[in-house]
Amino acid sequence: MKILCKNIIALLLSVMFVSSFSSCQKEEEMERMILTGVCWEGVLPLKEYYGQENYFSRFFFYEENGFKYGYEEFYYKGEYQRTYEFEWYWLDDAYSVVALNYGGRWQSDIACIDITKTTSNYIYGYYFMDIADYWNYKDGHLSQRSDLYFELKHVGSSRHQE
């Protein structure tokens, strides 16, 4: 009887382990499908631009053969200005923080998006121009981040070709 109980417990633990592993895989797949292959548009909370209502960005995320890359198109007063290229990757296992390596767009090479909520039409979160600012927030050294809040809306737009 003891052997039967041990076998049942081992079987239940195995089923729990396998189901948790497969649900993580489904979560990763879902996040990848939400983020890649579509256009996300919104105003970033960048202090360097005056009159934030006058500009917006469009993000395009791609993944091919394990290589993750993307483009940010910058618009001012509705007119296309320029495109910034970046490589992207998930910063955490929860698939909630996207690191964007611009290769020196500003003083920092890497910016990040801390995603708090996604729907089929919106991404809500916080945009950090420097990944060090994100880690300062996570470590408790930066107490407020409300001025970093943004929303990106899913729009049916194709990339601007230069």
> Which structural domain range is residue 95 located in?
36-155
Displacement of CA 85 from its chain's centroid (Å): 15
Q: Are residues 3 and 59 in the same domain?
A: no
Q: Check whether 53 has a pLDDT greater than 50.
A: yes
Q: Are residues 92 and 22 in the same domain?
A: no
pLDDT 10s digits, 74-107: 898 889 999 999 999 988 877 889 999 988 765 6
- Does residue 162 fall inside a structural domain? no
> Whole-model pTM?
0.73
Q: Report the C-alpha gap between 147 and 53 in whole angstroms.
A: 15
pLDDT 10s digits, 14-31: 434 333 333 444 445 545
What pLDDT is recorded for position 66?
A: 84
Looking at residues 109-125, what average pLDDT do you find?
90
**Average of per-residue pLDDT values in the chain:** 76
Q: Are residues 57 and 8 in the same domain?
A: no
pLDDT class of 159 with cuts at 50, 70, 90: confident
Q: Are residues 2 and 48 in the same domain?
A: no
| SS3 state of residue 63 | strand
What pLDDT is recorded for position 83?
A: 92
